[in-house]
Amino acid sequence: MAFKYGGKVDFPITVTLGRGLEGAITNESSIGYVDGQEGKLVYRGYDVADLAEHSSFEETAYLLIFGKLPQKDELDEFDRQLKENRDIDPKIIDILKKLPTTAHPMSKLEVAVSSLGCFDPITINNVEIGTQAGIKLISKLASVTAMLARIRKNQDIIAPRKDLRHAENFMYMISGEIPDELTTKVMDMALILHADHGMNASTFTSMVVASTLSDMYSAICAGICSLKGPLHGGANEFSLENLIKLTSETEARKWVQDCIKNKVKIMGFGHRIYKVYDPRARIFKRYAKEICEQAGKSDLYKIAEVVEDEVVKAYGSKGIFPNVDFYSGLIYNSLGIDTSLFTPIFAVSRVAGWVARILEYLPNSRIFRPRAVYTGPTDLKYTPMEER
Ligand code: SDX
């Protein structure tokens, strides 16, 4: 929207105001590219579909942070550091256990990351220290999330194992059982697919905090706070909750029609950048079919397809298609993961992108400080209380 500024002229007379910062550019980055017209997502030059098929979360996190695919010894060392940092201080576990059972795991994750920061008081005003903290956080966020899953169910905490891969250990710490190959593969892929996505709300939030030269823990905590919202990462939970309420294809079609009639936004659809099918949703959809079948939840998958069909029929011409949050929930649900854990899992992955982008920005960091267009008066005189 072009906006005529009528107040004090200390910045350009005509400014373009993109609601929700639409069209605004924050910085240059070589970490990842979201091609909203072609429906393509690239990390450091590599198509995410290729990475989802062939890479691992550990390797992808390395790629995002260090800018290249690692040599074997480099990946081994990175992996060693991730494994070494899996333990969580018992004092932090005590803090988490004292929080209300009913609190959302994302709120508890915020507490956990702030607490981790209290026990590791470092700063990120240099790349070396920020990298160390970032690696710790990538490792510990998975442990903490798995612990929160067990605390929520009043189950004993399962200590991390150092011999398992990142996704494998994460699932092991949730269930107490070493996951089968397909489960590990699918969780690994989910972590790869969520790891970075341009200047999304949570990435921007964490970068704004980091740009003040605050510490890595505070920046990542802020990212978690932002990711929690239902318009962002939180959509995966709402989307699945909507789907499991629908018991037949007819009911599913009617539900979508009612949403359209009442102008209710349908969770798991639409995107600021993608005006075509989200490439991540395409990959999730493929696996969702297989995993749902394996879990005896083919009906749930069919309901999801019907919802997609109805939404795309109504809104496809407006560029509204399933986004990353639509089919991911089906997969997690079929793997036996509680809905309240879906958004924390998003954070377990996205922390790699947050860390990478903060570290990339840091050497030339300048505090983010945009302006608002002031539309109020500037010449009012203060009136004492009794004269108002
Ligand atoms: C993620 O940005 C990222 O990269 C985020 C993410 C990542 O990896 O980090 O991809 C992860 O957050 C995915 C999005 C999860 N959120 C949802 O699924 C919630 C439902 N989706 C929408 O609320 C919406 O599409 C957003 C929040 C995703 C995007 O919001 P925008 O760009 O501000 O779009 P908008 O709300 O201004 O909508 C534009 C138009 C409107 O119609 P008109 O008023 O122009 O006629 O599209 C319509 C909207 O009503 N619309 C929808 C819709 N999404 C947009 N209509 C129905 N259902 C929807 N889901």
pLDDT, one tens digit per residue, over 117-161 is 999 977 667 899 999 999 999 999 999 999 999 999 999 999 999
Residue 60 placed within a domain: yes
Does residue 323 sit within a domain?
no
Q: Which stretches of the chain score pLDDT less than 50?
A: 5-7
pLDDT score at 7: 47
The 3-class SS string of the chain reads CEEECCCCCCCCCEEECCHHHCCCCCCCCCCEEEECCCCEEEECCEEHHHHHHHCCHHHHHHHHHHCCCCCHHHHHHHHHHHHHCCCCCHHHHHHHHHCCCCCCHHHHHHHHHHHHHHHCCCCCCCHHHHHHHHHHHHHHHHHHHHHHHHHHCCCCCCCCCCCCCHHHHHHHHHHCCCCCHHHHHHHHHHHHHCCCCCCCHHHHHHHHHHHCCCCHHHHHHHHHHHHCCCCCCCHHHHHHHHHHHCCCHHHHHHHHHHHHHCCCCCCCECCCCCCCCCHHHHHHHHHHHHHHHHCCCHHHHHHHHHHHHHHHHHHHHHCCCECHHHHHHHHHHHCCCCHHHHHHHHHHHHHHHHHHHHHHHHHHCCCCCCCCCCCCCCCCCCCCHHHC
Residue with CA at minimum distance from ligand 1 atom 22: 270
Residue 127 covered by a domain: yes
Q: For residue 269, which phi and psi values (nearest 5 degrees)?
A: -130, 150
Exposed (0-12), middle (13-18) or buried (19+): which is 149, by Cβ within 10 Å? buried
Ligand 1 test: best mutation among 197, 227, 271, most atoms within 8 Å of CB?
271
Please report, rounded to a whole number, the percentage of residues in the chain having pLDDT higher than 90: 92
**170 within some domain:** yes
Ligand 1 contact via 357 beta carbon (within 6 Å) = no
Give pLDDT, residue 2: 53
Number of domains in the chain: 1
Residues paired with residue 34 on neighbouring β-strands, in sequence order: 41
Residue 299 included in any domain: no
Question: Distance, CA 118 to ligand 1 centroid (Å)?
Answer: 36
- Concerning whether 232 is annotated as a catalytic residue, the answer is yes
Tell me the pTM: 0.95
Q: Is any ligand 1 atom within 6 A of the Cβ of residue 270?
A: yes
Instruction: Domain of residue 138: give its range.
Output: 55-234+338-364
Please indicate, yes or no, if residue 168 is contained in any of the structural domains. Answer: yes
> What CATH number has the domain bearing residue 88?
1.10.580.10
Is the shortest distance between the CB of 243 and ligand 1 below 6 Å?
Answer: no
In a domain, 163, yes or no: yes
Active site residue 338: no
Q: Does 73 fall in a domain?
A: yes
Q: How far is the C-alpha of 354 from the C-alpha of 142, rounded, in Å?
A: 15
According to the model, what pLDDT value does residue 233 have?
A: 97
